[in-house]
Every structure is written in C-alpha cells, then in structure tokens.
Amino acid sequence: MSALATARPVPHPAASAEPRAANFLTGMLVLSRRSLLHSFRDPESVLMAVLLPVMMMLIFVYVLGGAMSVGGQAPSHEQYLSYVLPAIALTAAGFGASFTAVVVSNDMTTGLIDRLRTMPFPAVTVLLGHTVASMARNLLATVVVMLVALAVGYRTDASALSMLGALGLIALWILAITVVFATLGMLAGSAEAASGYGFVLLFLPYLSSGYAPVESMPTWLRVFAEHQPMTPLIDAARALMAGQEPGADALISVLWCAVIIAIALVVAAYVFPRRTSR
C-alpha cells in the first residue's frame, strides 16, 4: 500500500477550535452542577449559608435597632433595618464564599484535579464550576434575606432599576470574594487551613459603615473603615436601595472589586499549574 493511501489527513486548526471551546463549556457546566449537588447534599452548610444571615439580621435589628440612631433620626427598628440590610447581604456573601475554599482544597488534595487532567476538558474548569455554584448559593441567600426583610417591615421607594443596581453591586462582591476564597483553597494544604485563612475577611463588614456610622468610631479605626472596600460598597448599595444616587461610591466599589478579582486571578494562574503538576 502506498504512503499516499495510508497517510491521515491533517485537521485544519480551525476545525479543532470549536471542540476545545465546547469541551471547556461542557466541563464548566458539569462541574458547576457537581458543586451545586454537593452543596445541597450537605444540608447543614446550605442552612448555615441561608439561615445565619437571616438570624443575624433579626438579632441586630431587634436587639440594637431600638438603640441605634442613624441618619440623624430617632432610633427605630425600621430605620435600622433599612440601614443594616446591605451589610447583612454582604456579610452573608462572605460566609457563603468561605465554603468554596474548603471544597476547592478538598478537590486539590484528593486527586480530582489530576483525574481531570486526563479528560478532554481543562482541569481549571473545576475552579470555574465552584465559582458559579458559589454565586448561585450566595444569590439565593441574598434573595432569602431580602424576602425576610420585607416580611418584618422593610419598605423602600427605590425603583426596580435602583434595586437591580444594588443587587448588581452585591453580586460583584460575591464574585470577588468567591475568587479570593477559591484561590485560598488552592494555596491551603488542607480544608481546615483553607477555612482559617479567609476568616479575617469575614470581619470586614463589621469594620465598616455596615452596622454603625464610621463617625462614631475611634480615629484609628475610622481611618481603616473609610479606606477598605466594604464601606463604599455598603454605602453605594444602601443609597441605591433607598432610591438615592450612590455618587462616587459605586465607581469606587467597582474598582475595588476589579482589583481584588485581578489579583486573585493572577495568583491563581501562577499557583494552579504548580499545584496540579505535583
């Protein structure tokens, strides 16, 4: 048989681009579904992600609300509920995203990544899958918090567009904090360490304008509170949820989130190939 008859046709480069793209998308969808299924098979984690922010909101509103004066108005539970609601939603995002660090660390240390490297889609899709699943869990928790707030008396004159803008800022922070925790999950040597590394990030909403005006804080703490990402993010979301203009806080919030995401992605891009090649 001649060499011409046995030669195999060489595929055109363009012909292989579509399968690679399809494999990447398929892998992300499969692993997002896997992460969501694992979440809902762990009802304790789901309940913590949803019920913890609700319980925090009720405790802060009904324990502190009657004594907290915000915006120069007389203390009332309703006023404090409107004030603290964005902080509760963003605090819930942090607690929900911390679960991502644990599951990513488990996948890194139990051999799943090495197994994925033998399959036709990139192993990095496991990180994207966890990110998508975390976004879904945290947005669900945010919706539940909003519904409970409405049930206990929250009212606003904000338009639907303003509320969507506030939700968009919250979703952007959820994405940023999830990427950070996913990166911490790669860096950690165990699930326990992954959970501990990001613990300090969960305190950021408390050291901001989320639960009390920064003007009431000591000078040294006020400087930190005014120059960390949570304060402009909470102030912008609070203004939008009240039907007011967020001013420069909205842009500052977006820039903070963009910088955090960019740094986390750079670290992840550097660490991921080295961890998976062991």
Q: Tokens 């989320």, residue?
A: 210
201 DSSP assignment: G
> Among 70, 90, 230, which Cα is nearest to 167's?
90
Tens digit of pLDDT for each residue in 74-127? 667 788 888 898 999 888 888 777 778 877 777 777 766 667 666 666 656 777
Q: Please, are residues 268 and 128 in contact by the beta-carbon 8 Å criterion?
A: no
72 vs 202: which has the higher pLDDT? 202
pLDDT of residue 224: 93
> Among 109, 102, 79, which Cα is nearest to 181's?
102
> pTM of the prediction?
0.81
Tens digit of pLDDT for each residue in 258-269? 999 999 888 887
Question: What is the distance between the alpha carbons of residues 15 and 266, in angstroms, rounded to a whole number?
Answer: 31
Question: What is the distance between the alpha carbons of residues 248 and 139, in angstroms, rounded to a whole number?
Answer: 25
